[in-house]
Amino acid sequence: MERLQKFIAETGYTSRRKAEELITSGKVTVDGKIVTELGTKVGGKEEIIIDEEILTKEEKEYYLLNKPREVITSVSDDKGRKTVVDIINTNKRIYPIGRLDYDTTGVLLLTNDGEFANILMHPNNKIDKVYIAKIRGIIKGDAINKLKNGVIIDGRKCEKCRVKLRKTNINNNTSTVEIVIHEGRNHQVKKMFEAVGFEVLKLKRERVGIFTLDGVSSGKYRRLTPKEISIIYSIKN
C-alpha cells in the first residue's frame, strides 16, 4: 500500500505536490468516493479518477530542453502562446520540472515521472541551479556579498548562495554575474538583483544539477540517458 499522492505522481499524471493539491481540493475519487485525506493509502487496484479522467500508468519519458525566449513554461496557455511542451514531439503527458520565465532561456527538464520531478524540486536535495544574469550597471563587492548572504524577497530571506562576477562592460554599463541557487521561488533571480538595486536584462539557466546545455542548441532538446535518470534516483530526500 502507498500514499495516494505518491501513487498519482508515479503514474506520471503530475508531481507529488500537485497531486496533493488535487486531493485536498476534492478532485480525486477512489472507487467512486471523493478522497481529500492526504494520508489515504491505495494498493494499485482501485479505480482512481481525477477531473473525470481515469488514471492509468504510462511509459516514462525524460527530456532536457534548451528553452528559447518567448515560450511559456507550462503545459497550456490561455493566451495561445507557444509552450515548452509544444516544442517536444511526444504523445505522453509530460510537464516541466520547475519553471523559467517567458524571457529566460536555458536548461529546462520535462517528464511525466512525478517521482523524478519531486527529487529535483525538493528543497532538501539542494540541487544546484546555475544562472547567468546580464544586469544593467556595474556591480561591486558589497552588492555581491549581500546576494551571497541571502537578500530578502517578498518578505522572506533567501538562502545563502554562490555568486561570481564573470565580467563587466564599462562601455555599455552592464555586468554579467553567475549565481547558483537551490531554491526555486517565483522570479527569484530577478527579485534578488532588484533587492540590491540592479535590473536583470537577460537571464539564462546554464545548469541544473548534472544537466548542462552541452550539445543542445537553443530551441532543441534531447532525451535523458538511463545513467542520468539513475543518478537522480540515487539522490535521497
Task: Give me the residues that bind ligand URA (CB under 6 A), please.
Answer: 100-101, 104, 187-190, 203
Residue closer to ligand URA by CB (options 35, 189) is 189
Q: How far is the CB of 189 from ligand URA (least distance, A)?
A: 3
Please tell me the distance from the alpha carbon of residue 7 to that of residue 226, in angstroms, as a whole number: 22
C-alpha cell at 175: 555586468
Q: Give the count of beta carbons closer than 10 Å to the beta carbon of residue 160.
A: 12
128 is catalytic: no
Strand partners, 202: 134
Please tell me the distance from the alpha carbon of residue 96 to that of residue 109, in angstroms, as a whole number: 6
The answer to whether 191 and 155 are in contact (CB under 8 A) is: no
The residues, ordered by sequence, that sit 6+ positions from 226 with a Cβ below 8 Å of its Cβ are: none
Please tell me the distance from the alpha carbon of residue 230 to that of residue 91, in angstroms, as a whole number: 23
Query: Which residue is catalytic, options 77, 86, 101, 128?
Result: 101
Q: Are strands 199-208 and 104-111 parallel, antiparallel or unpaired?
A: parallel
SS3 81: coil
In one letter, which amino acid is 189?
V
Residue closer to ligand URA by CB (options 12, 106) is 106
Characterize 19-39 residue by residue with b for buried, 16 or more Cβ atoms within 10 angstroms of its Cβ, and e for exposed.
Answer: bbebbeeebbbbeeeebeeee
Length, in residues, of the chain: 237
Residue closer to ligand URA by CB (options 18, 187) is 187
C-alpha cell at 125: 536535495
Residues annotated catalytic, as ranges:
101
